[in-house]
Amino acid sequence: MSALDASGVTINRAGLPVVRAASLSLKAGSISVLLGANGAGKTTLLEGISGVVPLAGGTVTLEGRRIEGSRPNQRARLGLAHVQQGRAVFRLLTTEENLRIACHREGSIEQGFELFPELKPRRHVAAGLLSGGEQQMLVMARAFVSRPKVLLIDEMSLGLAPLIVRRLMAVVRELADRGLAVLLVEQFAALALATGDRAHVLRRGRIVFDGDCASLRDAPEKLHRLYLGEGADGDPGGCFEMPRPMEEDLP
């Protein structure tokens, strides 16, 4: 059984369809990468799965249980964690307090510090005073101590140094290896494909590719075509940004 199934998900914003009948399936212990041009609907799809925005159609199933009608906090308590874009730390709370509010009743915040030992000396520092990389580590650690079964991660590399991105990517892999199902939205397409197991490409709100990461990793021109549309020379259905090849991703 899949950890999470999204089937025929349609999401409207301001009355216009942003995600159209998208379906994907996440397996425990596996990283699924969600790629697409800017404006393709990646963030909206994640928000629909976690309940930030309502679905106009389709279903979301978490370990066999329908959750599309549940509030976000109920989905979170069932084991769905959503790491939002933009390092959403609670700036006025300390690192430790940020972890405490998320900590599962059977868990410990020390598990968060084990995942990112860099945060330990900063445990009593207000999260707003942490560096960008530390804040992203804190957000990841916070999601981890909530003991999720499914982890949705939206653009965690935004504005971070390449070294930090590599560090975070390694942790994502480690979390999946511990049994979590991960759905990763990432601007560094090649790096994400190198880390992930399964890839989905979203174009104009539709899933146009669902397959192994390796098949896209080894054929960047195929990824370009998927972004642009088969046979099309332009109009990717969003604010187009070419997927960055691996060698441009990081030093």
Partner 1 sequence: MLTAALAGLAAGGTYALLGVCAVFTYRLVAVVNFAGAAVGAVGTFAMVMLHQAGMPLVPAVAIGLLAGTIASGLVGAVMSTWFAESDAQTKAAVTVAMLVGLIFAGLRVTGGQHPRQVPALFPGAAFSLDNVVVTVAAVVTIALAIAFAIGATLFLNRTRVGLLLRALSEHPMTAELMGIRTRLLSAAIWLVTGAATSLALMIVAPEWEPNFMTLSELIVPAFAAALMGSFRSFWLTVVGGIGLGLLEGMASNLAWLSQYRGGLPFVIIVAVLLWGQRGARWDEAR
* Identity of the residue numbered 28: A
Q: Name the token pair of 197.
A: 């197991």
Radius of gyration of the chain, Cα coordinates, nearest whole angstrom: 18
Is the Cα torsion angle 249, 163, 26, 46 positive or negative in sign? negative
Q: Contacting partner 1 (CB under 8 A), which of 5, 97, 197, 241?
A: 97
Q: Are 236 and 35 in contact (CB under 8 A)?
A: no
The footprint of partner 1 on residues 140-179 (CB under 8 A) is: 142, 146
Residue 250 binds to partner 1 (criterion: CB under 8 A): no
Residue 65 binds to partner 1 (criterion: CB under 8 A): no
> Taking the complex as a whole, how short is the minimal distance between the CB of residue 88 and partner 1, in angstroms?
4
Q: Quick one: residue 83, left, alpha or beta (phi over 0 = left, psi -120 to 50 = alpha)?
A: beta
Q: Which residues of 187-225 are buried (b: 16+ CB within 10 A; e: fewer)?
A: bbbbbbbbbbbbbbbbbbbbbbbeeebeebbeebeebeb
Q: Are 113 and 120 in contact (CB under 8 A)?
A: yes
What ranges in 32-185 are assigned the alpha helix state H? 42-50, 72-77, 95-102, 110-115, 132-145, 162-177
Q: Quick one: which segment of 20-28, 93-101, 106-114, 191-199 binds partner 1 (CB under 8 A)?
A: 93-101
> Taking the complex as a whole, how short is the minimal distance between the CB of residue 139 and partner 1, in angstroms?
9
Q: Are 9 and 23 in contact (CB under 8 A)?
A: yes
Residue 102 binds to partner 1 (criterion: CB under 8 A): yes
Residue 13 binds to partner 1 (criterion: CB under 8 A): no
Q: Name the token pair of 222.
A: 């195929």
Cβ proximity to partner 1, 95 vs 195, nearer residue = 95
* Identity of the residue numbered 77: R
Q: Contacting partner 1 (CB under 8 A), which of 21, 28, 56, 93?
A: 93
Residue 91 binds to partner 1 (criterion: CB under 8 A): yes
Q: Quick one: which segment of 45-53, 164-172, 200-208, 238-246 binds partner 1 (CB under 8 A)?
A: 45-53
Q: Quick one: which segment of 86-94, 173-181, 219-227, 241-249 binds partner 1 (CB under 8 A)?
A: 86-94
Q: Quick one: which segment of 5-13, 16-24, 73-81, 227-235 binds partner 1 (CB under 8 A)?
A: 73-81
Q: Quick one: which segment of 16-24, 83-91, 191-199, 242-250 binds partner 1 (CB under 8 A)?
A: 83-91
* Residue ranges in contact with partner 1 by CB under 8 A: 50-52, 71-73, 76-77, 81-82, 84, 88, 90-93, 97-98, 100-102, 142, 146
